[in-house]
Amino acid sequence: MSKLKAELLTALEDFRRIADILGQHEPILDTKSFYYSLFAQCFQLHRQITEITHTAAFSDFLGDKLSRLESLIVPEYLQPYIIRGETSCPYPSLVALHQFVNSEHHNQDGMNKILKECINFGTKDEQEALVLLLKDGNTYLKAQTATPAVLQDVGLFIPLKKRQRPPDGIWPAANSLFKVLDSRKRCTCDPAHKYVVQLCLETHRAKLVNCDFDLYLGLGQVWQEARVQTTTISSSKLPAIVVDGPNPAAVGNGSRCRSKRERMVEKLCGDIIKITSKLPHYRLRYRLEKDSLWKLQSEESNFKIDKSKPPMSLAKIITEKSNMLNEKTKRILSVLLGYAVFHLHGTPWLQSPWSSSNVLFFRSPSGVPLRPYVETHLDDNLNRNPLERTPSDDDDFDPDDDLSPPYPCLVDLAVVLIELHKARSLESLADTYGVPMTEEMDSTARYIFVREVFKSCREDITDQTRMAINSCLDPNIGLNDDGEELDEYGLRGVIYQQIVRRLEDELEQGFSDLSVDRLDTLVQNMDLATGGQPIRLEQLRHSLDVTDYSSKPKRRLSNDNAGRRVRFLTSTDAEASEQPSLSTPRLSTSACGGGSTFLCEKELPSNSTSNHRQNGDLAGRIKQLLATPRERPNRLDTIRVLNIPDEILEHELRTELEKLFDSTCKVHSLARTTRDTHWRKYATVTFPGMANDKLKTLITTEETRLRGSLNLQYDAHFLGITSLYDAGDEAMVDIIAIEGLGTNPFGTFRCPQGDEMWLRDYLPDNFQYCRILLYGYDSKVPGSRSDQSIREIAGTCKNVILDFRKLTKVITKTFPILR
């Protein structure tokens, strides 16, 4: 081991111990956060330097870090430990600090005092610069080595899951499909039709036989689902297709027997118009063979979209409906977007610049399935071939041209991942972090702009996703060790290993129940609107089936001598609970106000007159209860106001809200809840002069107008984390309240007849030095067909809380939770 390496390892170990000692006894939250950030960076850098085998190549790096740590020490306070007469030691202060830290002649209070005196960490900005310096050192070493250092950031090593590389043959098939569709867009109609194609983004990990690409064909305002069969294997391995009886001779000599069940497609508009008018619930089926597209028999669709509503873009979700995104859906979408680039890079499906506006979600009658589609126009005016540099361009060459990104499509992916995980547009982030931008930017200016925004917000992004984004912005990602450009297959291998694989690991480490190999199937039953909870596309029909079932007489078992059994049936339909059949015991669940009423009816022996009378009385009482709705308490609805700038005070917020709502406003709480570079507050408010129905309508239908100059947001569901009270730097504990099933997060802890909410209005009197947080999730019981287990709900809750505490710079090791 070289001398520089040994000295730096010793110094990092000393500073790690010092940060741990000072952090444990530091009362100020921001300073405590700095100490533990320093602890983490020293630990990580120590571990990475240990793995260095050829230290000669890193001598400048090692020397620079030693000099920086040496400059922090004030030698006057370490005079007894400085070695006199030693001139060959280039870092005497670090040696003296090491001697002091390892001495045993000081009590704890005395050591803390001397450490604070002998090390000058400087101002808050200088402290952040020190942590950033060490973090950049980690990034540098990580780029120079092949080991996944991020997985060693913490004391526990998380083994990478062994996973096969996805198929490489998707992109040639996708490229062929686009060319065939593009060639079939021309028609003789007057006026000529303009086509838009939405291609479903999938991992394609599952071994599919006859269903390679799902897409929607857009013709004006009409969207038609289609499925295209293709194959990535050689044509000699294609299975023989036999229709209306085998013909051995035809199959044996390689000739293809065609029948009326297959027809070569000459133009698309005829098929789309015909099926939408005659078979609106069916999807088109095609087979792609070389440069030909064959129409197969259509089939019933198992994913019926709501054609009365337009598709919803990811950009709109990020900017206007960010409450739909949680950690689970963010990580799932990240994987699917990573695979979009892996499979479609270099094809016309995904040409730069593309953005979150090109990623769409179709709505179904019962939700928003988590199946993203990428939008592509079949337009003759679009340039399908990227410009390539010619030798004649060398006369106009500018060295600054080398600053442009070699693969703009990867820069686009980085932008979408940043926006997705921050739940804000890139322009909004740039404004927050003070990154200047211009209206018109070429690819080089945009690349530099994206990198600057990423530098400002990368600390708030989870580790593997941060590394994936960093790889997207790496100008050398397409070069091998010799500086030569990789071919198409080599580039895709790098994209998978450095981008897609890390996004996969992030997903499976956070949600072990989600398998990447089965992700294409799993997302079909996930509702984006409810944070990835299961969705049933036939909920309405299924609820009718349940109603019919409840009215059928129950078959008695032959060996049922006692005749006393209990069966439960959950129904959301009041009429189903009022069925006259008393032979079927029921558990009816009906929504009444904010809660649920549970009624259980047992089957009693049929040969008892008294039992018949009791059953009749009970049935009448049940009908009476169901027919009489529970009176709602006469109280004002409380709404949550989000995205409030940290500098806004309570009276300023009240004035702004009264101006926007044109009504008297009462602000009950205003506390810091989210943090980028600046804190953002959440508030709970009521409007005494406004009816509850009108308030609900306003925040739903006039959301854009009510944003005002502060860009405020509103909701009443209280999903996620809501801070009700914050003691600021004096906070010593987090108190987190979690709702139960079938309740509203805020209403659970609210006074039945008034505006008081005991967590917000009374608990701070007894726990002054704390943060009081409310965690809400979609816990409705009536009408829900969710198959989430309690373990899955708890896992999501844990991830949200840990991410929240990380983003708000709270060190979970020494900042306890009460729940």
Q: Please tell me the predicted confidence (pLDDT) of residue 619.
A: 59
Please indicate, yes or no, if residue 365 is contained in any of the structural domains.
Answer: yes
What sign for the dihedral angle of Cα 272, 276, 277, 278?
positive
Same domain flag for 441 and 476: yes
Q: Please tell me the predicted confidence (pLDDT) of residue 732.
A: 82
Confidence of residue 599 (pLDDT cuts 50, 70, 90): very low
- pLDDT > 70? residue 100: yes
Cβ neighbourhood burial of 485 (10 Å; 0-12, 13-18, 19+) = exposed
Give the mean model confidence (pLDDT) for residues 338-356: 89
Q: Please tell me the predicted confidence (pLDDT) of residue 592.
A: 38
Q: Concatenated DSSP letters for 283-318?
A: EEEEEEETTEEEEEEEEE-SS---TTS--EEHHHHH
Read off the pLDDT of residues 500-509 as tens digits, 9 standing for 90 and up. Answer: 999 998 888 8
Q: Please tell me the predicted confidence (pLDDT) of residue 394.
A: 52
* Residue 1 vs residue 237, higher pLDDT: 1
Same domain flag for 96 and 196: no
Q: What is the C-alpha separation between 333 and 672, in angstroms, rounded?
A: 28
Lowest mean pLDDT among 95-109, 191-205, 534-548, 591-605: 591-605
> DSSP alpha helices (H): ranges in 747-789?
758-761, 763-766
- pLDDT > 80? residue 261: no
Residue with tokens 């694989």: 501
Q: What is the C-alpha separation between 273 and 376, in angstroms, rounded?
A: 20
- pLDDT > 60? residue 120: yes
Q: Please tell me the predicted confidence (pLDDT) of residue 185.
A: 67
Confidence of residue 605 (pLDDT cuts 50, 70, 90): very low
Read off the pLDDT of residues 161-208 as tens digits, 9 standing for 90 and up. Answer: 556 667 777 888 888 888 888 877 666 676 777 778 888 898 888 754
Same domain flag for 596 and 507: no
- pLDDT > 90? residue 336: yes
What does each C-alpha distance from 182 to 194, 377, 382 come to in angstroms? 11, 9, 11
Give the mean model confidence (pLDDT) for residues 594-604: 37
Q: What is the C-alpha separation between 420 and 711, in angstroms, rounded?
A: 19
Confidence of residue 788 (pLDDT cuts 50, 70, 90): low
Lowest mean pLDDT among 211-220, 501-510, 546-555: 546-555
Please indicate, yes or no, if residue 160 is contained in any of the structural domains.
Answer: no
- pLDDT > 60? residue 64: yes
Q: What angle do the packed helices 790-807 and 327-344 form, to 10 degrees?
A: 90
Confidence of residue 313 (pLDDT cuts 50, 70, 90): very high
Tokens coding 484: 């030569």
Q: Please tell me the predicted confidence (pLDDT) of residue 639.
A: 92
For 169-190, b where at least 16 C-beta lie within 10 A, e where not — what string? ebbebbebbbebbbebbbeeee
Question: Contact 618/600 with Cβ under 8 angstroms?
Answer: no
Read off the pLDDT of residues 654-706 as tens digits, 9 standing for 90 and up. Answer: 999 999 999 999 999 999 887 765 788 999 999 988 988 899 888 888 888 89
| Closest C-alpha to 238, from 165, 167, 168, 173 | 173
Number of domains in the chain: 4
Question: Contact 336/528 with Cβ under 8 angstroms?
Answer: no
Read off the pLDDT of residues 319-332 as tens digits, 9 standing for 90 and up. Answer: 888 888 888 899 99
Assign 3-state DSSP to the chain and report helix, strand, coil percentages, each to 5.
Answer: 45, 15, 40
Please indicate, yes or no, if residue 351 is contained in any of the structural domains.
Answer: yes
Q: Please tell me the predicted confidence (pLDDT) of residue 432.
A: 85
Q: Please tell me the predicted confidence (pLDDT) of residue 387.
A: 43
Q: What is the pTM of this model?
A: 0.50
On the CB side of 440, CA atoms within 13 Å amount to: 0
Lowest mean pLDDT among 437-451, 568-582, 796-810: 568-582
First to last CA, the chain: 49
- pLDDT > 50? residue 773: yes
- pLDDT > 60? residue 806: yes
Please indicate, yes or no, if residue 440 is contained in any of the structural domains.
Answer: yes
Q: Choose one of 479, 503, 537: the last residue of a domain.
A: 537
* Residue 662 vs residue 211, higher pLDDT: 662
Question: Contact 288/180 with Cβ under 8 angstroms?
Answer: yes
Question: Contact 662/701 with Cβ under 8 angstroms?
Answer: no
Q: What angle do the packed helices 108-118 and 3-24 form, to 10 degrees?
A: 120
Question: Contact 130/42 with Cβ under 8 angstroms?
Answer: no
Q: What is the mean pLDDT of the chain?
A: 75
Q: Determine what percent of the chain is predicted with pLDDT higher than 90.
A: 14
Q: Please tell me the predicted confidence (pLDDT) of residue 659.
A: 92
Q: What is the C-alpha separation between 213 and 225, in angstroms, rounded?
A: 11
Give the mean model confidence (pLDDT) for residues 446-450: 90
Question: Contact 486/480 with Cβ under 8 angstroms?
Answer: yes
Confidence of residue 237 (pLDDT cuts 50, 70, 90): very low
Q: Please tell me the predicted confidence (pLDDT) of residue 730.
A: 78
Q: What is the C-alpha separation between 572 and 626, in angstroms, rounded?
A: 12
Same domain flag for 528 and 431: yes
Please indicate, yes or no, if residue 248 is contained in any of the structural domains.
Answer: no
Q: What is the C-alpha separation between 760 and 756, in angstroms, rounded?
A: 8
Q: What is the C-alpha separation between 440 and 446, in angstroms, rounded?
A: 9
Q: Choose one of 152, 187, 202: the last residue of a domain.
A: 152
Q: Please tell me the predicted confidence (pLDDT) of residue 157.
A: 38
Same domain flag for 686 and 796: yes
- pLDDT > 90? residue 613: no
Read off the pLDDT of residues 42-55 as tens digits, 9 standing for 90 and up. Answer: 888 888 888 776 66
- pLDDT > 70? residue 514: yes
Same domain flag for 517 and 593: no
Same domain flag for 659 and 748: yes
Q: Please tell me the predicted confidence (pLDDT) of residue 669.
A: 94
Confidence of residue 629 (pLDDT cuts 50, 70, 90): low
Contacts (Cβ under 8 Å, ≥6 apart) of 200: 213, 214, 215, 371, 372, 373
Q: Please tell me the predicted confidence (pLDDT) of residue 817.
A: 63
Same domain flag for 173 and 291: yes
Please indicate, yes or no, if residue 158 is contained in any of the structural domains.
Answer: no
Q: Please tell me the predicted confidence (pLDDT) of residue 584.
A: 35
Same domain flag for 788 and 702: yes
Please indicate, yes or no, if residue 443 is contained in any of the structural domains.
Answer: yes
Give the mean model confidence (pLDDT) for residues 248-257: 40
Q: Please tell me the predicted confidence (pLDDT) of residue 338.
A: 93
Lowest mean pLDDT among 87-96, 277-286, 483-492, 705-714: 87-96
Please indicate, yes or no, if residue 372 is contained in any of the structural domains.
Answer: yes
Lowest mean pLDDT among 286-290, 295-299, 618-622: 618-622
Q: Please tell me the predicted confidence (pLDDT) of residue 368.
A: 87
Q: Please tell me the predicted confidence (pLDDT) of residue 679.
A: 80
Question: Contact 294/286 with Cβ under 8 angstroms?
Answer: yes
Question: What is the C-alpha R_g of the chain?
Answer: 32
Same domain flag for 309 and 421: yes
Same domain flag for 663 and 745: yes
- pLDDT > 70? residue 628: no
Q: Concatenated DSSP letters for 86-106?
A: --S-S-HHHHHHHHHHT--S-
- pLDDT > 80? residue 746: yes
Q: What is the C-alpha separation between 43 and 9, in angstroms, rounded?
A: 10
* Residue 752 vs residue 104, higher pLDDT: 752
Give the mean model confidence (pLDDT) for residues 538-561: 40
Question: Contact 519/336 with Cβ under 8 angstroms?
Answer: yes
Q: Please tell me the predicted confidence (pLDDT) of residue 557.
A: 41
Lowest mean pLDDT among 140-154, 648-662, 766-780: 140-154
Tell me the longest C-alpha to C-alpha distance in the chain.
110
Same domain flag for 344 and 292: yes
**The domain containing residue 43 runs over which residues?**
3-152
Q: Choose one of 152, 183, 209: the last residue of a domain.
A: 152
- pLDDT > 60? residue 388: no
| Single-letter amino acid code for the residue at 242 | V
Q: Please tell me the predicted confidence (pLDDT) of residue 655.
A: 92
